[in-house]
Amino acid sequence: YKQAKILYEGTERTSKNGRMSRCDAMTTFLAYWLSHDPVEKNRLIGSSWEMTTEALRNFTKTGEEADCWTTLSQLALVACLAHRLEWDREKRKKIPLEALEYGNKAVQYLSNTQRPSELARAYAMVITWLVEVAFFLGPEEREKNDETVRDYWAKAAQRSEEAALVEVANLD
């Protein structure tokens, strides 16, 4: 990823900044797994999520929907870990909301492709984040959220139940 970032620096592609941020996010995520210090691990996973969202913002800004999906697909676990390890309530709430925003964009993008397994995975990711967001909702909002979860699960299972189940297991 470090070498890939160097290569991206030399290009003129519109996706250059997003790809460089994705490389940074992945490098930091890998450092998280190698670290033995809990404080350092927490810092690294938080930084990795910040770099991931930077990449997602860059790809969204330049209309690179495929790169946005690739980033989310590769780094979805970062959002889950950063959320679970965050102690600050507001930051803890923000992480799944950000992931949800980009997850919904991925569903929208993949709905226009012929990739049912990937669409099922995107639905499963969104479901995971909807469940996390539910803890911060009131009773009425939670009911609407639960309806969306049921609706998205039906859509995911229709496309590829196996892919959806594997994705839920990966993120849980």
Model pLDDT, residue 147: 97
Span 96-127, pLDDT tens digits: 999 999 999 999 999 999 999 999 999 999 99
> How much is the pLDDT for 35?
97
pLDDT of residue 88: 93
pLDDT at 2: 86
Over the range 79-102, which residues count as b (16 or more CB within 10 Å of their CB) and which as e?
bbbbbebbeeeeebebbbebbbeb
C-alpha closest to that of 53 among 89, 121, 61: 61
pLDDT exceeds 80 at position 172: no
- pLDDT, mean over the chain: 94
Give yes or no for a contact between 92 and 86, defined as CB atoms under 8 angstroms apart: yes
**Residue whose entry in the numeric block shows the structure tokens 């460089």:** 20
